[in-house]
Amino acid sequence: MLMQDKIQEARDAIASAEKLLVFTGAGISKESGVPTFREAGGLWEKFKAEDFATLEAFKRRPKEVWEWYRFRRNLARKAEPNPAHYAVAKLETLHDDFMVATQNIDNLHQRAGAKKVLELHGNIMRSYCLKCGHKVDESEHKLEGEVPTCPKGDCGGVMRPDVVWFGEFLDPKVLEQSFKFAAECDCCIVIGTSGVVYPAAQIPVLARRNDACIIEINPEPSALTRIADYFLKGKAGEIMPMLVEENPG
């Protein structure tokens, strides 16, 4: 099928969806200047996932891990949402029954105006105390020190980024809501994810099981391409607006 025809069919499937789910990964933010994880030149060419994104790594080398997260926090803060984030936010205004389930921690969906966002892997703009669980939003409080400590009372516990590391459970409420929405949706757009990290990667599979139309946008095939009805090969920032605009091209 020609790319143009595929885009037209995918547009129709999205427009007629009654319950629409958008599942995103690092690829949607790449055009905003936030590196992905597993591509060549990605974040983890130098920093291996297993070395940095675990609680053991943090306990062993809290200073380095904090340095890495501060660097990425600055990057995310300076980044601007791209046309793909705006197209997703636009879809929310066109569909009553809508949800974004994102693996990203960069806040860019929300900054583009999306409100119905489930953050599967947390948010880099928040931190919490390992000792008492106290949560701190970056906008409310600036955490001081190489390894920041808990600002609540005289707790003094070590603060960590509010993200989900390997071997850690996702927030059960967020995961349950995502799974439920996926199992009931009739259309699922999968954008910019390698689809190898579980349990998140299960989300489009659940949608597929409900016979939802699966539309994938990625410049490269992923582990989820085999379940896609439409694989739209290309950059999210270029393809997504074509799926949402009223008069494309």
> What residue ranges bind ligand BJW (CB under 6 A)?
25-28, 30-31, 36-39, 42, 49, 53, 103, 105, 121, 163-164, 166-169, 191-194, 196-199, 217-220, 222, 235-236
Q: CB under 5 to 8 A by kind: which of ligand BJW, Zn ion, none does 37 bind?
A: ligand BJW
How far is Cα 11 from Cα 190, in angstroms, rounded to an integer?
14
Between 94 and 223, CB nearer to ligand BJW: 223
Shortest reach from residue 76's CB to Zn ion, in Å: 24
Answer with the entry of Zn ion, ligand BJW, none that 116 interacts with (C-beta below 5 to 8 A by kind): none
Among 11, 111, 134, 233, which residue sits at the site for Zn ion (rule: CB under 5 A)? 134
Q: Say if residues 105 and 123 touch (Cβ distance below 8 Å).
A: yes
User: How many Å is the Cα radius of gyration of the chain?
Assistant: 19
> Cα(11)–Cα(230) distance, rounded to whole angstroms?
11
Neighbours of 71 (CB within 10 A): 12
Any catalytic annotation for residue 121?
yes
E runs forming strands in 70-140:
98-102, 117-119, 122-129, 135-137
Q: How far is the CB of 96 from ligand BJW (least distance, A)?
A: 27
Minimum distance of Zn ion from residue 132's CB (angstroms): 3
Alpha carbons 121 and 175: distance in angstroms, whole number: 10
Sorted by sequence, the CB contacts under 8 Å of residue 121 that are 6+ apart come out as 103, 104, 105, 163, 164, 170, 200
Minimum Å gap between C-beta 122 and ligand BJW is 7
Task: Select which of 85, 95, 121, 141 is catalytic.
Answer: 121
Query: Which residues form the interface with Zn ion (CB under 5 A)?
Result: 129, 131-132, 134, 150, 152, 155, 157
Annotated active-site positions, please? 121
